[in-house]
Chain A
């Protein structure tokens, strides 16, 4: 990424948690060199998009930094539900009986 762009304004990679390219590069330099640790350090992929937007970008940034192929990196598992679901929806479905 060009120096000019970096200086001009922050480049957001994770829009849910407001994580910038600069944040990611700094964390990688501090030793957070796997996706799981970057996720916990910066909360990348922990917002409403659950990483669908930012994770492919972070994978590319990290792969480039580590001089690895993207497919060599360990990818964090996806947690259900796939998209955010209102609690109301679950109220109508099964589950164990109430204790009362």
Chain B
């Protein structure tokens, strides 16, 4: 087999890169997925999409991603809604910190603002604001259907000629004289000069075969959904004090998560203590939840980088090798813009957003870390 580009990983990032490449005319692409599409973090995510981060790099990339989410949802036909995000605060110091973050958001065109209980109640009817003194409202944020997003990208890719191999694992990236020459897979050898690694924590192992060390940690997170309801509230609501979040998904289920103590790099295990921990916070906010049934509980990983920003773009040591991993919990929402940026790196040699150039692996080697403070759930 031969291919112009091989993408390793069939999550939101992988299918987005394939789609953006194909739309720019590069259709001689093979995408490898070791299980089924979306089976890593994408189909386990909280479905939220926001630009209210705390660094220029994250905010600018995400603002572009949000514009793309809207276009893509219309182009490919999947659910996307700008229902907003509400970050709830119980202490004055939280409000002060987010008032400063809001200034950064506004500087880069994300219209967040501090609001008070009356407006919180209007945006999230049935919420109990007892103990809540204020919130950050991000009207640009929203949510999308991860299944529809990943699967519709993949179908569109196939129609344009991209080959998608599921249940196919990349075993080794073949490098000669500092250049990529191929990928060995469980379905045979593929000759190629360009490989994109977009395999979540698995990126680490496959990058190692090319002599590249990716400093990633795999941290388990947990989520549950209730039975379905007609629309109750539009925004994704975050209780910043406990790091818990709640959102009504595209299908109508109420999805919630909370940060509980976890060890990195361990297999996913069921933590039944997660359920009482999260529902105790959420029943205070939405008292009617008490009478609602829990349908399903699952876990997934946040693939953490040292500074909570993804590692994107080309790798200095190996010509033709690109990385897109380590989103630290935000890979799904960044999928569209990362697809476009990696396609630009491959086709134009550089990305259209200068902020992306600061997110290559080089920053970590040179110690130029850019810390993100707003990681939730």
Interface residues of A (CB under 8 A from B): 30-32, 34, 36-37, 40-41, 43, 46-48, 50, 79-81, 84-88, 90-91, 93-96, 98-100
Q: Are A79 and B276 in contact, CB atoms less than 8 angstroms apart?
A: no
Q: Are A93 and B281 in contact, CB atoms less than 8 angstroms apart?
A: no
Tell me the nearest residue of chain B to A42, going by C-beta. Answer: B147
- Give Cα distance in the complex from A41 to B37, angstroms: 11
Q: Is B348 an interface residue (CB 8 A)?
A: no
Give the total of B residues in contact with A, Cβ under 8 Å.
44
Q: Are B36 and A37 in contact, CB atoms less than 8 angstroms apart?
A: yes
Tell me the nearest residue of chain B to A38, going by C-beta. Answer: B36
Q: Are A87 and B289 in contact, CB atoms less than 8 angstroms apart?
A: yes
- Give Cα distance in the complex from A91 to B158, angstroms: 47
Known: A30-B155, A85-B293. A80 touches B270 (CB 8 A): yes
Chain B residue numbers with a CB within 8 Å of A85 are: 293-294
Q: Are A84 and B294 in contact, CB atoms less than 8 angstroms apart?
A: yes
Q: Are A95 and B275 in contact, CB atoms less than 8 angstroms apart?
A: yes
Q: Are A41 and B147 in contact, CB atoms less than 8 angstroms apart?
A: yes
Chain A residue numbers with a CB within 8 Å of B227 are: 47-48, 84
* A53, chain B: closest CB distance, angstroms: 14
* A87, chain B: closest CB distance, angstroms: 5
Of A46, A80, A86, A96, which one neighbours B273 at CB under 8 angstroms? A96
Report 19 cross-chain contacts, Cβ distance below 8 Å, ordered by A residue.
Answer: A30-B155, A31-B158, A34-B166, A37-B37, A40-B38, A40-B43, A43-B251, A46-B296, A47-B227, A80-B272, A81-B294, A81-B297, A88-B291, A94-B273, A95-B275, A95-B277, A98-B242, A98-B281, A99-B242
Chain A residue numbers with a CB within 8 Å of B114 are: none
Chain B residue numbers with a CB within 8 Å of A31 are: 155, 158
* A66, chain B: closest CB distance, angstroms: 13
Chain B residue numbers with a CB within 8 Å of A96 are: 260-261, 273, 277
- Give Cα distance in the complex from A81 to B297, angstroms: 7
Q: Are A36 and B39 in contact, CB atoms less than 8 angstroms apart?
A: yes
* A54, chain B: closest CB distance, angstroms: 14
Chain A residue numbers with a CB within 8 Å of B295 are: 46-48, 50, 84
* A78, chain B: closest CB distance, angstroms: 9
Q: Are A88 and B290 in contact, CB atoms less than 8 angstroms apart?
A: yes
Chain B residue numbers with a CB within 8 Å of A86 are: 290-294
Contact with A along B265-276 (1 / 0, CB 8 A): 000001011111
* B16, chain A: closest CB distance, angstroms: 17
* B231, chain A: closest CB distance, angstroms: 17
User: Dominant SS at the B interface?
Assistant: mixed
- Give Cα distance in the complex from A46 to B252, angstroms: 12
Chain B residue numbers with a CB within 8 Å of A84 are: 227, 293-295
Q: Are B292 and A87 in contact, CB atoms less than 8 angstroms apart?
A: yes
Known: A87-B279, A98-B281. A79 touches B241 (CB 8 A): no
- Give Cα distance in the complex from A79 to B226, angstroms: 13
In B17-38, which residues have CB < 8 Å from any A CB? 35-38
Chain A residue numbers with a CB within 8 Å of B38 are: 40
- Give Cα distance in the complex from A36 to B43, angstroms: 11
* B256, chain A: closest CB distance, angstroms: 10
Q: Is B124 an interface residue (CB 8 A)?
A: no
Tell me the nearest residue of chain B to A81, going by C-beta. Answer: B294
Tell me the nearest residue of chain B to A30, going by C-beta. Answer: B155
Q: Are B36 and A90 in contact, CB atoms less than 8 angstroms apart?
A: no
Known: A48-B295, A99-B242. A87 touches B147 (CB 8 A): no
Chain A residue numbers with a CB within 8 Å of B108 are: none
Q: Are A40 and B151 in contact, CB atoms less than 8 angstroms apart?
A: yes
Chain B residue numbers with a CB within 8 Å of A91 are: 276, 279-280, 283, 290
Of B166, B226, B272, which one neighbours A87 at CB under 8 angstroms? B226
* B126, chain A: closest CB distance, angstroms: 15
Contact with A along B234-265 (1 / 0, CB 8 A): 00000001100000000100000000110000
Q: Is B298 an interface residue (CB 8 A)?
A: yes
Q: Are A80 and B283 in contact, CB atoms less than 8 angstroms apart?
A: no
